[in-house]
Structure 1
Amino acid sequence: MTAPADLITRLADRFGDRIITTGAAIPERYHHDWAGLPPAQPLALARPETTAEVSALLAFCHDARLPVVPQGGLTGISGAAHPDAGCLVLSLERMAAIEALDTEAGTLTAGAGLVLETAQRAAADAGLMLGIDIGARGSCQLGGVLATNAGGNNVIRYGMARDHVLGLEVVLADGTVIDGMNAMLKNNAGLDLKQLFIGSEGLLGVITRCVLRLHPAPSERATAFLGCAGGDAAVALLGAARQALGPMLSSFEVMWPSFFHTMAEGTGLGVPLDGRHGAYVIVEATGFGPGAAQGALETLFERAFEDGLVEDGILAGSLREERALWAVRESPAEYATVLGPIIPFDIGLPIARMAEAVTVLEAGIAARWPTARALSYGHIGDSNLHLVVNVPEAGANQPEDAVKAFVYGVTRDFGGTVSAEHGIGLIKRDYLGYSRSPAEIALMRRIKAALDPHAILNPGKSFAPDPEERQP
């Protein structure tokens, strides 16, 4: 392998300072993502503007055996976009154009660097809706959203990120450009290759452009904030909501008291209901007929109250009230202020055992770390539980290994998954075997070897082989 100094000189000479930044000139924001891993200054940063430039860069790195870490908006919490000192960081942020918005076909064609919220606004301006929505909408980029198969608030109605993709353009490790920019809802000609790259965390290729499916924008949205006796009642309420609202049910978010009261008090956002409850639920319904969603949600509330599933609740009467009801649920960006260093989890659990699992997790953490704060909440309608843990006296040296071993062990025993929507990256790679069989992981690696024979794309992440690989 060429010495790093010579390699970087060749890279800079080949692509110029318009694309390449090296050494101390690389801004610190590219040294890490949201995973909380120690920052690392990469050898170089590449910010291409075209697919041809991405292709040329990857061909160069393939020949030179230079590791490449693709980066999007850097909002992931699994470390998939975290660089190391010997890599080239490849940022797609300059490839952010909206190329087309077809209102008749209901599609949006854009570069991978486009920020999700910008895409949402473009769709809304055209009277349509992009069904993908996550808390980091203002900074995450489409390429990263698709590479991690992001979930978010609307999955219960519109599905995961992959359900919104009609076509992709991807550059392979050797620079080969795969033009799969299909814009048709039906295209059954051969293998659906785009599915290889959605959720692959940049290990198989770099997404450069995409065609996304848009939906008619609902004309009405109704939101309720409900207090339940506990997690079991909240899960039962989910079944009632599915029956009462049908396809109008667009969000179902549950917050256990550990999360809700800690964040409501810590941020000063306040509590919309009197008293304390065993679980707090946000139910959102969207519809197209005047008053249909509001009426259906009111009926659900009344029946759930009569059946003892709900103890108290409030329905938003305006957009301002709606935002206030969501405020605590969307407060995780304040963890650093309210809690300090955290150990975050994004796990999936069978819905029927969700409440039981939360009880086991919170009790187990309290027994092992008596001062710990364990906050539980999530997209329960999608089997997705978020858990964050902080051990106050540990400060910056949180007991990550021990907490992970416990949480992921419980997740495995409950038949869940160690990653519901944030991928594996570096943070969870040792636990991939808790959710995937040896045969599945072996097949993932065979595909990796076929598409990236020199293993330059995101080495050591997720299912990529690592000489120092270990199992917990």
Structure 2
Amino acid sequence: MNLLEQTLATLRYILDSSSIVTGGAINPRHHTDWSHYAPACPGILLLPRTTEEVSKMLRICNTHKQPVVPQGGMTGLAGGGVPRAGDIALSLERMEGIEEIDPAAATMTVLAGTRLETIQQAAAEAGFLFPLNLGARGSCQIGGNIATNAGGNSVIRYGMTRDLVLGLEVVLADGRVLNLMNKMMKNNTGYDLKQCFIGSEGTLGVITRAVLKLHPLPGDVTTVLCAPADYSSAVRLLRTLQRKVGTPQAYEVMWPAFYRLGVDWSGQTAPLPDDKPIYVLFESTGSAEALEALLADAFETGDITDAVIASSHTQARQLWKIREATGEFPVRLKPLNFDISLPIGEIDAFIQDCQQHLDSRFPGHHTLYFGHIGDSNLHVTVDLNSVPEPAPVEALDELVYTAVGARKGSVSAEHGIGALKRDYLHHSVTPEALEVMRQLKQTFDPNGILNPGKVLG
């Protein structure tokens, strides 16, 4: 028997048959994630219902030195949950549920397979907000969100996923269970081990439960679309907004090509003329009077040249439909997406450099720029239909990531490294830091069974 067959025989001896799926019975959605990177059917799909079952599964796989790929909702964009042929996929989809909402501690305890939208709804019903918000909210699972340290529109106010996690339960490669569950904001008892697993993409351990930090529900939200005079004005507007009204719930910046596309796809009349140099869509929960005064001052100083304030929830949704055009990228474009971060003051110069390099190397390319910027996050999407065939993906990757490294940015802002960005990690991480990462991997997973080929290779 080969390695996979030996492992399968032991799994069948120890586990209930309902938690083991093989061959053609494995749903194709376990073959790849939303990146569509290198689809492959796993040799075995494991579907645990409890932490104890996860522990047994990993202990068996570790004994046989059998590679295991943890999977969540498979909505990732970096190939982090994609198995290789012969790998075992370990899906947390059956470990779903909210175990507790503690109003006094303002926490929620959940199983890793619980969908983000379910968590958001339960928090709202209890009078709280769980602010992590992604377009994939109806499909993604909280374990995957934590494993990739997901971001989203609300990071500027509430932080990344790691800022929303107080405690974790994690199963190590050898089956040991780490109980790092905690409800306290202040808990200064040695190394904060949970941070090792947040953003590690299943390469150090499998997250099975989490304690999440809840926030008060926001008050009335005002949605504004405005046209700053230039990028510097957009940054200045953000800082003034934070100082005089309060940090916004979201602060989205769109460059002209993206704005025009978003308006066109939304099927609405452009709320602002499409000849402006930059557009900002933001949400504020501060005083309406203070916000109106701020906008009036910005008009007077020339920092903004036009603006529209949503007068209803319906109008606010229409404005957001422009920004949410990204949801149709896979259908209408052949997108090569870059999720990067840069020092905020460098973003506009980076775009100019990037555009110049692309114009020179790939005349006629169609590239879109948009992002959250208040949290340093810029998204760049190249439509591969607009560049020569075969699509020069590696050349584009090298062009963009080299430019990111030159400005001391990050090759991944919120989507993780996975397999797609592994070879470019050196643009953002020093050799010394990479070596420490490898040492950490060796400590937690000495046989290298957890998600091999991801993050560090």
TM-score range, shorter chain: over 0.9
Greater mean deviation of Cα atoms: 30-39 or 358-367: 358-367
The 8 Å contact of residues 342 and 398 in structure 1, kept in 2 or not, is answered as: no
Letter in 2 for 1:193: L
Q: Tell me whether 1:445 sits opposite 2:444 in the alignment.
A: no
Q: What is the Cα deviation at residue 397 of structure 1?
A: 4.2
Q: Tell me whether 1:354 sits opposite 2:347 in the alignment.
A: yes
2:312 matched residue in structure 1:
318
2:365 matched residue in structure 1:
372
Normalising by structure 2, we get a TM-score of 0.96
The 8 Å contact of residues 369 and 391 in structure 1, kept in 2 or not, is answered as: no
SS class of match (2:114): coil
The 8 Å contact of residues 147 and 197 in structure 2, kept in 1 or not, is answered as: yes
Q: Tell me whether 1:300 sits opposite 2:294 in the alignment.
A: yes
Give the 5 Å matches for 1:6-45.
6-45=6-45
1:418-456 per-position Cα deviation (integer Å, ceiling 9, x unaligned): 011111110111111110111101001101101100000
1:459 matched residue in structure 2:
452
CA distance in 1, matches of 2:173, 2:188: 26
The 8 Å contact of residues 33 and 74 in structure 1, kept in 2 or not, is answered as: yes
The 8 Å contact of residues 266 and 338 in structure 1, kept in 2 or not, is answered as: no
CA distance in 2, matches of 1:441, 1:253: 32
The 8 Å contact of residues 265 and 325 in structure 2, kept in 1 or not, is answered as: no
1:83-102 per-position Cα deviation (integer Å, ceiling 9, x unaligned): 11021111111111100001
- Residue-pair matches, total: 457
Q: What is the Cα deviation at residue 258 of structure 1?
A: 1.9
Q: What is the Cα deviation at residue 242 of structure 1?
A: 2.2
Q: What is the Cα deviation at residue 3 of structure 1?
A: 3.4
1:264 matched residue in structure 2:
263
Runs of 4+ deviating beyond 4 Å: 393-397
SS class of match (1:123): helix
The 8 Å contact of residues 171 and 178 in structure 1, kept in 2 or not, is answered as: yes
CA RMSD of aligned residues (A): 1.6
Q: 1:253 to 1:66 in 2, by over 3 A?
A: same
CA distance in 2, matches of 1:2, 1:136: 38
1:56-105 per-position Cα deviation (integer Å, ceiling 9, x unaligned): 01001101111111111111111111111021111111111100001111
CA distance in 2, matches of 1:303, 1:13: 72
The 8 Å contact of residues 112 and 142 in structure 1, kept in 2 or not, is answered as: yes
Letter in 2 for 1:49: R
CA distance in 2, matches of 1:390, 1:286: 36
The 8 Å contact of residues 240 and 304 in structure 1, kept in 2 or not, is answered as: no
2:283 matched residue in structure 1:
284
The 8 Å contact of residues 65 and 456 in structure 1, kept in 2 or not, is answered as: yes
1:121-142 per-position Cα deviation (integer Å, ceiling 9, x unaligned): 1111111111211221111110
SS class of match (1:241): helix
SS class of match (2:318): helix
The 8 Å contact of residues 7 and 60 in structure 2, kept in 1 or not, is answered as: no
Q: What is the Cα deviation at residue 143 of structure 1?
A: 0.4
Letter in 2 for 1:268: G
Give the 5 Å matches for 1:324-335.
324-335=318-329
1:217 matched residue in structure 2:
217
The 8 Å contact of residues 259 and 274 in structure 2, kept in 1 or not, is answered as: no
1:48 matched residue in structure 2:
48
Gaps of 5+ in 2: none
Gaps of 5+ in 1: 467-472
CA distance in 1, matches of 2:384, 2:49: 44
Q: 1:390 aligns with which of 383, 390, 394?
A: 383
SS class of match (1:371): coil
1:417 matched residue in structure 2:
410
Q: 1:449 to 1:270 in 2, by over 3 A?
A: farther
The 8 Å contact of residues 269 and 327 in structure 1, kept in 2 or not, is answered as: no
Q: What is the Cα deviation at residue 228 of structure 1?
A: 2.3
Percent same amino acid at aligned positions? 47
CA distance in 1, matches of 2:298, 2:121: 35
Q: 1:396 to 1:85 in 2, by over 3 A?
A: farther
CA distance in 2, matches of 1:162, 1:133: 14
Q: What is the Cα deviation at residue 402 of structure 1?
A: 0.2
Q: What is the Cα deviation at residue 406 of structure 1?
A: 0.4
